[in-house]
Structure 1
Amino acid sequence: MTVRLIPYLMMDGNAKEAIQFYETALEAQLLFSQTFGDMPENPEFPLPAEARDRVAHATLKVGDSELMFSDTFPGQSHSAGNQVTICITADSPEKAKKLYEALQQGGQVNMPLQETHFSPAYGIVTDKFGVVFQIYTESHR
């Protein structure tokens, strides 16, 4: 099974600016970008107007590596300590579940592992050392 670790930068409303900066500074190529406004509406969680243009997810190709970005949702706390997370990309929901369950031991679940519109199995945990991991399963559709 294939597993990749990808640095994930959490920005405080300036992800678009950071992406443009890294495109130039690191000679990176934008592979994907989606704003919160581009995502499907969820009636249970109405999207505030100030969140529509914030980056929900973006990926830059930097040489042979990738760098991922997201803005915080308005009202979420943001500090230098939680700005970088590690995104673990798995190639199957079974592998994602195994990683998710192992990393949450002694830690904290931030988002339960679940199917989303962008992944068959996605969740977020903070491990017992305070490191935040996003577990993402590639969709093979």
Structure 2
Amino acid sequence: MQKITTFLMFEGKAEEAMNFYTSLFSNSGIVDISRYGAGEQGKEGTVKHATFSLNGQEFMCIDSFVSHGFTFTPSISLYVKCETEEEIDKVFAALSANGQVLMPLGPYPFSKKFGWLSDKFGVSWQLTLL
């Protein structure tokens, strides 16, 4: 069991994000999900708590029923080591769609191919080709 798990807080987009992320990486899926019911604090049917895995790495997420004055920031990001050029191109294209490219996919002194972006949910990702 992992001792440290990344925890992502969304406002009504947790399930959409999980489905999107798990579709991009092999050996991924939603492990468990609980939803707000009628009369609970969160909007009925949204994610009260969920666990999902991306290529065997577990993450947790929720849909906060409180609207916050903050969201994700690029100062912390998910770092992905891609094994093939096809993988990095596919994942970068999917994650950057309707998001923001922070560093375009290309060669850098520290990586033969690297890209950094914030996806459509605001989560920051760094991708590198091994």
Q: TM-score, normalised by structure 2?
A: 0.47
Q: Which has the higher helix share?
A: 1
Structure possessing the higher relative contact order (Cα contacts under 8 Å, 6 or more residues apart)? 1
- TM-score using structure 1 length: 0.44
